[in-house]
Amino acid sequence: MIKNDLLLKALKGETVERPPVWMMRQAGRYLPDFMKLKEKYDFFTRCRTPELATEITVMPIRQIGPDAAILFSDILVVPQAMNIEVQMKPGVGPWLPSPVRSLEDVQKVHVPNVHEELQYVFDAIKMTKQELNDEVPLIGFAGSPWTILCYTVQGKGSKNFDLAKKFCFTNPAAAHALLQKITDTTIAYLKAKVAAGVDAVQLFDSWGGMLSPADYQTFSWRYMQQIIDALKGQVPVIAYGKGCWFALKEMSESGAAALGVDWTCTARNARYLSGGSITLQGNFDPSRLYSPPAQIRKMVHQMIDDFGKDAYIVNLGHGILPDIPVENARAFVDAVKEYK
């Protein structure tokens, strides 16, 4: 039995004394101990070494005290497993030397045996579960197929993912073939994560808001729905779409346990658009963690009042920024724990 099961209760919509809290990217670069490891090991070495991934995952639990751990990894380990080279370039971010730009390129992409290509992730989950010793739940995650396509076609991060969109709109058959391969791989990957011991999973549709509502249904949501359907009954799924307020109604009817909301959507609108009964997660602006701790506490309490303490998970609207002071991150978490 997990000692602190607030997250799991909130995902079931149960009444809680206070909402649970965790932060996207909490196992990362704002922590001084993480930066020490970063100086010694490159990014994908940290992802591929279960001992390092475990250490990084547990770090914020010990130092910040959130109610859940999220496995240190990256959404781009999935395309790596699919025969697509992905590098992490300092100062640049993700870099794919041979982007997928044609049907021929798509045909070279394979749906792997996840246990052959990604076993290091499942080993890290088992090791992390041992280290956590049932203190808090462990969240596993994956990128949405659309978000993975954005990187594999664009070849790097982008403000608008114009090449990814052009590929979808000029070569839809190839785009859908690629999206289906990513979906099939992601389903196998997440099922293996569940078997390894994660207590919940989150789907990150970080670039869903780049699409119009109609194109979102065509190129993103239908594939996320396949993943949710495949995992339903096995594990609670949190669906997070940045900038995807327009899809909250469809998302709420999907079988997902919770929906992530970014800071551009108010609590009131999120509750209204999602039908008022599903658990919501979010939506503190990550940049607001630059505010003084006293102000962070005040804003967090207001946010909980706005969402309501039940069917709610306190989180940021996107990942924590790298130069946030540790005491400010701690103030965010402590504010939730102090909530009455």
Between CA 248 and CA 241 the distance in angstroms is 9
Give the global pTM.
0.97
Question: Would the annotation count 318 as a binding residue?
Answer: yes
% of the chain beyond a pLDDT of 70: 100
* 74 labelled binding-site residue: yes
Q: Distances from the Cα of 261 to the Cαs of 8, 20, 128, 195, 277, in angstroms?
A: 18, 15, 27, 28, 15
CATH topology of domain 6-11+20-266: TIM Barrel (3.20.20)
Known binder of ligand: residue 206? yes
What pLDDT score does 50 carry?
A: 98
**Bridge partners, 204 (sequence order):** 143, 240
29 labelled ligand-binding = yes
Task: Please check the confidence at residue 154 and state whether its pLDDT lies above 90.
Answer: yes
In one-letter notation, the amino acid at residue 202 is Q
pLDDT one-digit tens code per residue, 211-248: 999 999 999 999 999 999 999 999 999 999 999 999 99
Determine which helix (DSSP H) or strand (DSSP E) holds 201, and give its type and residue range. Answer: strand 200-205
If you compute the radius of gyration of the chain from its CA atoms, what whole number of angstroms results? 19
On whether the CB atoms of residues 193 and 131 are closer than 8 A, the answer is: no
In 53-135, the DSSP E strands lie at 69-70, 87-89, 93-95
What is the overall mean pLDDT for the chain?
97
104 Cβ contact partners less than 8 Å away, ≥ 6 residues apart: none
The pLDDT score that the predictor gives to residue 90 is 86
DSSP secondary structure code for residue 21 in this structure:
B
State the pLDDT at residue 267.
98
48 labeled binding residue: no
Both tokens of residue 50?
A: 């279960």
Q: Is 26 labeled as ligand-binding?
A: yes
pLDDT digits (tens, 9 = 90+) for 4-20: 999 999 999 999 999 99
pLDDT at 91: 86
Using CA of residue 239, residue 122, residue 33, residue 60, what is the dihedral sign? positive
Q: Could you report the per-residue pLDDT of 155-203, keeping only the tens digit for each?
A: 999 999 999 999 999 999 999 999 999 999 999 999 999 999 999 999 9
pLDDT tens figures, 55-92: 999 999 999 999 999 999 999 999 999 999 999 998 89
